Amino acid sequence: MTDTLTRVAPRPPTLVGEAGWGYFPIALTARLPFAMMVVGILTLIVSARDSLALGGITSAMTGVGTALFGPLLGAAADRFGQRRVLLITGTANSLLLIAIAWLAFTTAADGALLALAFLIGATMPQVSPLSRSRLVGIVRRSFEGQRKAKVLSGTMAYESAADEIVFVFGPVVVGLLATTQGPAAPVIGAALLALVFVTAFALHPTAKTPALREGESADQQAPVKQLLRPELLITAVGTLGMGLFFGAMLTSLTAFMAERGVPEQAGLVYGAMGIGSAVFALGVAFLPVRFSLHARWLTFGVVLFTASLGLIMVTTVTAMALCLLVIGIGIGPTLVTQYSLAAARSPWGRSATVMTMLGSGVIVGQSAATALTGIVAEGAGWGIALFAPIGAAAVVLGAGIINARLSRR
C-alpha cells in the first residue's frame, strides 16, 4: 500500500491553484476604477459645468497624468515592491476622486479641476500591468517546458480579455450610477472601488511574487532600446487607436444623447458595444492556430472600420445601439490580438513595461479623443462628431496593415 502511494505522481500545478481562487475576481474588480475614471469625470464635468468641451479637456488631463507617471509607477513597483506602491497610489487616487466630485459643483476655477484631473491620472493604480507581471512570475516559477508556454499564452489571453471587458463595461457602470444616483456618483463609486479592491489587490499574497526567478538579476534584462523596435511600437500604436476610438465614440455618443435630453444615459447605450465585444474577445481562444495574429488584426480591424461607417446614417437611439452592437464584434478580438502580439514581442524582463505602454496607449488615446471630440461636438454638433470614431477606426486598421508588413519583413 505504501509503495503504491509513493508511486502516485503529484498533481500538476495550475495557475488558479498557484494564484488562489480569490485573486482573479479581486484583480478584475480592481481594474474597474481605471475604466470608470475618464468617463466618470467627463459625465461629472458636463453635468456640473454644462460644457462638453471643458468635460473633454478635464478628462483628457487624466490621460496626460497617466502617460507621464504610469511607467514611473511601474519602475517604482519593481524597485520597492507592488504592495507599497499600490497602497499609496490607491489611497491618494481615492481621495483625489472624492475631491473633484465635490469641487466640480463649487465656484472653483476650471484650472483647479484640470489640476485635480492631472493628479488623478498620475496616481492611477497600474493594476493591469502589475497583474500581468505577477502572473508571469507565477508561471515562470511553477511551470516548465511546453506546459509553461501553454499556460503563459492562456494567461495573456485572459488578461487581455479582462482588460477589454472592463474598458467596455466601465462606461455602463458609469451610466447606471449617473442615471440612478446623480452625476457625481460614478466618480465617488470609482473612489470607493479603488480604496477597497486596489487595497485588496495590494495585500494579496501574490504581490510578493518575484518578477525574476531565483539566480536572475535586473542586469539580465534586455536593454531599454529594445522597447523601441518598430514591431513592438506598432502594437502600442494599435492600442492608442483603440483608445482613440473609445474616447471619440463615447464623447460623440454623449453629444448624440444630449441632443435628445438624456446625456447621462450615454454609458448605457454604449454598453451595446460590449455585448459583441466581450463574446468575440473570449472567443478568440477558440480560433484556429493557422488564423495568425497578423491576419486577425487585419480581419477584425476591417470589421471595426466598416461597421463604424454606419454611424453616419444613425438618427435614432435604437439604430445607434444596433450599430454599436456590430462595432463590438471588431473591438474585442482586435484588442486581444494587440496584447497577444505585444506579449510575444516583449524583450526579456520587460513585459511589465510593455504592458504599461499598451495600457497607457489606451487611456491616452481615450483622453485625447475625448477632449478633441468634445470640442468638435460643441462647435459643430453631434453629426460631425460621429466622424471622429471613424477616423480612430482607420488608425487601428492602418496600424494593422503596417504590423502585417513589418511581420513579413
pLDDT on residue 286: 74
Q: Look-up: residue for cell 477589454? A: 164
Structural domain spans, the chain: 22-212+222-408
| Separation of alpha carbons 53 and 31, rounded Å | 27
pLDDT on residue 271: 77
pLDDT on residue 409: 65
pLDDT on residue 389: 93
pLDDT on residue 107: 87
pLDDT on residue 372: 86
pLDDT on residue 346: 75
pLDDT on residue 216: 46
pLDDT on residue 202: 92
Q: With the C-alpha atoms ordered 295, 302, 276, 39, is the resulting torsion angle positive or negative?
A: positive
pLDDT on residue 213: 46
Q: With the C-alpha atoms ordered 247, 199, 154, 342, is the resulting torsion angle positive or negative?
A: positive
pLDDT on residue 210: 52
CB 324 within 8 Å of CB 128:
no
Q: pTM higher than 0.85, yes or no?
A: no
Helix 317-345 to helix 230-258 angle (10° resolution) is 160
Helix 23-49 to helix 185-193 angle (10° resolution) is 150
Domain 22-212+222-408 matching CATH 1.10.730.10: the answer reads no
Tens digit of pLDDT at every position of the chain (409 positions): 455 444 545 667 777 788 888 899 999 999 888 878 877 888 888 888 888 778 878 887 888 888 788 877 877 777 777 889 899 999 999 999 999 999 999 888 989 999 999 999 999 998 888 887 788 778 777 777 667 766 766 776 677 778 767 876 787 788 788 888 888 899 999 999 999 999 999 999 888 755 444 444 445 666 767 777 888 899 999 999 998 998 899 888 888 888 777 776 777 788 788 777 877 877 776 777 788 888 999 999 999 999 999 998 888 888 888 999 999 899 888 988 888 788 778 777 676 677 777 877 887 887 788 778 888 887 888 888 889 999 999 999 999 999 999 877 6
